[in-house]
Amino acid sequence: MDNKIQKLYLIRHGQASFGEKNYDNLSKKGFKQSISLGRKLKKEKIEFENIIIGPLNRHRQTFEGIKEGFKGKVKDPVIINEFAENQLMEIAQHYIPIMLNTEKSMKEIFSEVPIWKRRKEFFKYFNIIAKKWILGEYDFSKNKFETYKDFRKRIKVAKNKVHNLMKDDNHTMVVSSGGAITGIYSECEPLTVDEIMQNSFEIKNASVSTFIKQNQGFTLESFNRSLIPKYLETYI
């Protein structure tokens, strides 16, 4: 490990409880993914001077799984609230039934879709809602949802906070969510709306994206790298 290079490791949480009333908990596979990632980080002898997590249950649970797999001394995490995920899942749960002109819940809608087709069907509608959110085509604030503009402001604050925490010769781990990770990426590189959406939806659970700290910000080193076995890989 080259201690002269300061790296930021952005880790997406393990698989959450998609389709359940409370999405914000890891599934059984999500815990396995987190433990597996911890073992891999230990094997690669990566040491973290700072450990940061977002405020959600799945962020904390993912860190606990990484810690279990790491089986070594791991610092207590600092919570940075600005690393919370955006509200696209909640927005989708609210607007997809409206789009389909039904009183059924999102869970009921997709429970009627064959399992093999469910992910594709969900993302067909999710992509429409996400693009409208990013482009500001709906007044999502009427339902007290965070707008995309406010989300980007929050992510910029998160980026600056973690940048200020990183001192000389250390690496930092942040456990957050796919939208927040893509938001950080968007702060470092100019991305189009379609690139933002594509990157957000392709981030694997428990994947690692690395950025190198520079004087005023970060530059991307690798994005969405999976360190866990193929059979454990998921996207949602």
User: Which CATH number does the domain housing residue 63 bear?
Assistant: 3.40.50.1240
Shared domain check, 73 and 29:
yes
Shared domain check, 120 and 26:
no
Domain for residue 154, yes or no? no
Shared domain check, 116 and 181:
no
Shared domain check, 215 and 177:
yes
pLDDT of residue 218: 92
pLDDT of residue 141: 76
Domain for residue 136, yes or no? yes
Q: Which long-range contacts (CB under 8 A, 24 or more apart) does 229-234 make?
A: 229/36, 232/29, 232/32, 232/33, 232/36, 232/206, 233/204, 233/205, 234/15, 234/29, 234/33, 234/204, 234/205
Shared domain check, 224 and 210:
yes
Shared domain check, 102 and 213:
no
Domain for residue 117, yes or no? yes
Shared domain check, 136 and 173:
no
Shared domain check, 96 and 77:
no
Shared domain check, 80 and 11:
yes
pLDDT of residue 2: 47
One pLDDT digit (tens) per residue for the chain, 236 residues:
445 689 999 999 999 876 666 678 899 999 999 999 999 999 998 889 999 999 999 999 999 999 999 987 788 999 999 999 999 888 988 889 988 999 988 878 888 888 888 888 888 898 899 999 999 887 777 788 999 999 999 999 999 999 999 876 679 999 999 999 999 999 988 888 888 888 888 899 999 999 999 877 899 999 999 999 999 999 87
Dist CA 34 CA 40 (whole Å):
10
Domain for residue 23, yes or no? yes
Cβ proximity of 54 and 79 under 8 Å: yes
Q: Which residue among 122, 145, 168 closes a domain? A: 145
Shared domain check, 43 and 99:
no
* Domain membership of residue 178 as a residue range: 7-84+159-232
7's enclosing H/E stretch is strand 7-12
Shared domain check, 220 and 122:
no
Q: Which residue among 113, 145, 177 closes a domain? A: 145
pLDDT of residue 217: 84
What Cα–Cα distance (Å) separates residue 149 from each residue in 9, 73, 133, 136, 139? Answer: 25, 39, 9, 8, 12
pLDDT of residue 38: 96
pLDDT of residue 22: 66
Shared domain check, 23 and 140:
no
Domain for residue 150, yes or no? no
- Provide the domain count of the chain: 2
